[in-house]
Amino acid sequence: NASTTKVSTEWLCNSNEAVEIQLHQSNYKDRFSPNFTYPIFGKHEQIYGYKNLKIKLYYASGSLSTYFNVSFDQKITEITPVAQPDDVIGKIKEFIPKDFTTNYDTFLNIVESDSLNFRPMGEKIDEYYTRRNDNGDDTVYEIYKTNFNTPKFKEFHRRLQIFALFYIEGASYIDEDDEKWEIALLFEKKNTSGTHIYNLVGYCTMYAYFYCDRGKITSVEKSLPQNSTLSHDIRMRISQFLILPPYQSQGHGNKLYQSLYQSFLANSLIKEITVEDPNEPFQDLRDKNDLRYLIDSKLLENIQLPVDKQAVENTRHKCRLNKRQMARCLEIYLLRKLN
C-alpha cells in the first residue's frame, strides 16, 4: 500500500552516492564516488534501511592500504525492529581484503609510513614527464609491469581490484592463480623533501593468449601448462584499462596505452593486440592512438583506393592490430582524405 511504499523509499539510498572514496597523500584529497556498484549492491544500485548512509573507502594513494568505515544517522531497525536492512558491511567485505582498518587514526599513521616506505612492485618499463609544478619540478610518471608472481603484488592487487568494478561496466575480478595475466601499473612519483612518494594513477590488466595464424584462439592455449616457459606466439588482450578519476582527462590514458603498445611491438612473440569489450571512451582513445601511430610510422602511405587486400594485411602484421581495428583505422584514415 501507499504508506509501505513511502516508508520503503524513505529508507532507500543510491549505493553509488553512498560510497565515498579518497586517495590520501596524493594531491587529490577530494572525495569521489563509483560509477557502478551493481556487482556489490545489485542491479538497482540501492541500499535499504539507512538514513544518510556513508560508506567510506579511503586509500593510502600508493600502497592502497585501506580505511573502511560505515556510518549513518538512523537505521530502520530503530523504528521497525523486524525490518531487514541491507548488510552493507558484509557486502563490501566480500569484495575487499581483510587487511583494512576501521580506525581513522591508525589509517593516518599507515598513510604516513606507507608514503615513506612504499615502492611500486615489478619491473619499470617506461616513464614520462608532465608539466612543471610551482617549484619548477617536473612530475614523473612511471609504468611498472607485474604478474601474480611479482613479490607483494597479490596483496596489492586484492586492494586494487575493486576499482575495476567501480569504474568499468561489466568488469569482474580476475583469477590471481592464472599466471598468464600481466598487469601494468602507472604511478606518479613525487619528490617531497628529498623523499619519493608514489601515487597510483591507473592500471591495465592484459592476458597473453596463444596466437594461431588463422586468427582463431584454439584449445591449444588452454592445454599449455600455466608455468609454461615454451615460447609461443601471443595474442595480447587488454582486459581492464583504468585511469583513476582524479587523474582522468589529463593525457595519462594516452600515455599508458602508447607505452603498452610500444612494449607489445618490442616483443616479437606478440603477433596481435586485442581489447576485451572496449567501451566508447576507450575505443576513442584506441582509435586515435592507433591511427596516430600508423600515420607517424608512415605505414598507411602506400594504401590508396581501391584498397589492396594484401597490402592491408602486410601493414596489419607490422602494426599487430587485429582485423577489425585495422579496418576501423583504415576507414577513418581514408575518410579523412575526402574533400
**Dihedral of the alpha carbons of 122, 123, 126, 130, in degrees to the nearest 10:** 40
Out of 276, 280, 301, 313, the active site residue is 276
Contacting residue, 240, 274, 315, 325, with ligand ACO by CB under 6 A = 240
> Across-strand partners of 142?
127, 187
Nearest residue to ligand ACO by CB is 253
Residue 129 CB, nearest distance to ligand ACO (Å)? 15
- As a whole number of angstroms, the distance between CA 32 and CA 239 comes to 24
Give 115 or 325: the residue with its C-beta nearer to ligand ACO: 325
Binding mask 151-190 for ligand ACO (x = CB under 6 A): ----------------xx----------------------
Q: What is the DSSP string of 221-234?
A: HHHS-TT------E
Amino acid at position 72, single letter: F
Task: Name the minimum Å distance from CB 258 to ligand ACO.
Answer: 9
Q: How many residues bind ligand ACO (CB under 6 A)?
A: 23
CB of 231 to ligand ACO, least distance (A): 26
Q: What sign for the dihedral angle of Cα 95, 100, 102, 105? A: negative
For the CB of residue 276, give the shortest distance to ligand ACO in the complex, in Å. Answer: 6
Closest CA to 245 of 306, 197, 202: 202
- Locate cell 594513477: which residue? 201
* Contact yes or no for 161/172 (Cβ under 8 A): no
Smallest gap from Cβ 45 to ligand ACO, in A, equals: 17
Q: Give the residue, chosen from 220, 251, 267, 324, that forms a contact with ligand ACO under the rule CB under 6 A.
A: 251
Residue window 36-75: x/- pattern of binding to ligand ACO, with contact defined by CB under 6 A: ----------------------------------------
Residues 265-294 binding ligand ACO (CB under 6 A) are 275-276, 278-279, 281-282, 284-285, 288
Shortest spacing between CB 143 and ligand ACO, in angstroms:
13
Work out which of 27, 191, 254, 322 binds ligand ACO, going by CB under 6 A.
254
Pair 256, 282: CB distance under 8 Å: no
Q: Which is nearer to ligand ACO, 69 or 258 (CB)?
A: 258
139 binds ligand ACO (CB under 6 A): no
Known active-site residue 10 = no
Where does the chain have alpha helices with state H? 2-10, 15-18, 38-41, 88-93, 104-117, 153-160, 162-167, 220-223, 252-265, 280-296, 309-319, 323-336
Instruction: Tell me which stretch binds ligand ACO (CB under 6 A): 41-49, 174-182, 250-258, 324-332.
Output: 250-258
Closest CA to 148 of 162, 160, 137: 160
Cα separation, 201 vs 142, whole angstroms? 10
CA 161/CA 181 separation, integer angstroms: 13
Q: 18, 121, 243, 330: which one contacts ligand ACO (CB under 6 A)?
A: 243
Choices 42-50, 72-80, 120-128, 235-243 (CB under 6 A): range interacting with ligand ACO: 235-243
| N-to-C CA span, the chain | 64
Binding site for ligand ACO (CB under 6 A): 167-168, 238, 240-243, 248-254, 275-276, 278-279, 281-282, 284-285, 288
Active centre residues (catalytic): 276
